[in-house]
Amino acid sequence: MSNMTLSNETTKSDDIVSAAFSQFSQYGFQRTSMADIAAATGISRASLYTYFDNKEDIFRGACININTNSLAKVAQLLSAHETGQTISQRVEAALIERYGRLLEIAKSPHGSEIYDERNRLCGEIVQQSVTDLRALLTKALKAADKAGEINLKTIGTSPIAAAEILQLAAAGLKAECPDAKTYAKRLKGLVGIFFAGLYSGPSASQLRKAK
């Protein structure tokens, strides 16, 4: 298979996954058929089966795409040093990107069904995404600590432990939030409290100006 063919195959698979997820969101997973997905993609049902075995396979593809794209954006937000943002601002933006978007899906008309299928079909994908998110947070916190922007010793913890606390707390906030806007507001408070005792010198001044 040539590189051009591989590129086209990948693009078509992405198109199918994107069209399928729109169908799942609009009509629910159970009510969406392979024929619906094929029609939404603009291909025949027979052609659809050359890319995916069934709609469960397509759903897993959608889950992989969502997690891959989200984590890529998280990595970008956490490493955006040139913006002049503090580490707390970068972490806040990254966690909103990650969990705010997931909350939007959960609160959609068929969100509960989608989440049930996500847990049933994509458990290992979700767990890997959590591991990857913690690794990205650890890297950002370690760099900020090394640069003197924060001092993790003030709370007697390590970048790895701090990243785990942030991830678990940010994930837990979703439980009782009615919408993404409320989540963003509460997350801002969480991140502010977490970093309040870690800043010193110039960084504390930056944090006050950012409020």
pLDDT in tens, 143-156: 999 999 999 998 89
Predicted confidence band of residue 209 (pLDDT cuts 50, 70, 90): low
Identify whether residues 121 and 140 lie together within a single domain. yes
How many domains does the chain fold into?
Answer: 2
Domain boundary among 52, 68, 90: 52
Q: Which of 35, 52, 69 is the last residue of a domain?
A: 52
Q: What tens digit of pLDDT does each residue of 31-62 get?
A: 999 999 999 999 999 999 999 999 999 999 99
Task: Kindly state the average pLDDT of the residues 127-134.
Answer: 97
Q: Where are the alpha helices (DSSP H) in the chain?
A: 3-27, 34-41, 45-48, 55-78, 87-95, 101-106, 111-121, 123-146, 159-172, 180-196, 202-210
For 109, the domain range is 58-210
The verdict on 113 and 156 lying in the same domain is yes
Residue 8 has pLDDT above 70, yes or no: no
Per-residue pLDDT band for 109 (boundaries 50, 70, 90) equals confident
Give me the percent of the chain exceeding a pLDDT of 90: 70
- Cβ neighbour number for residue 38 with a 10 Å cutoff: 19
pLDDT for 198 equals: 87
CATH number at residue 120: 1.10.357.10
Query: Can you tell me the distance from the alpha carbon of 49 to that of 33, in angstroms, rounded to the nearest whole number?
Result: 12
Rounded to two decimals, what is the model's pTM?
A: 0.84
> Is residue 123 located within the same domain as residue 147?
yes
Percent of the chain with pLDDT over 70: 89
Do 128 and 155 fall into the same domain?
yes
Whether the pLDDT of residue 203 is over 80: the answer is no
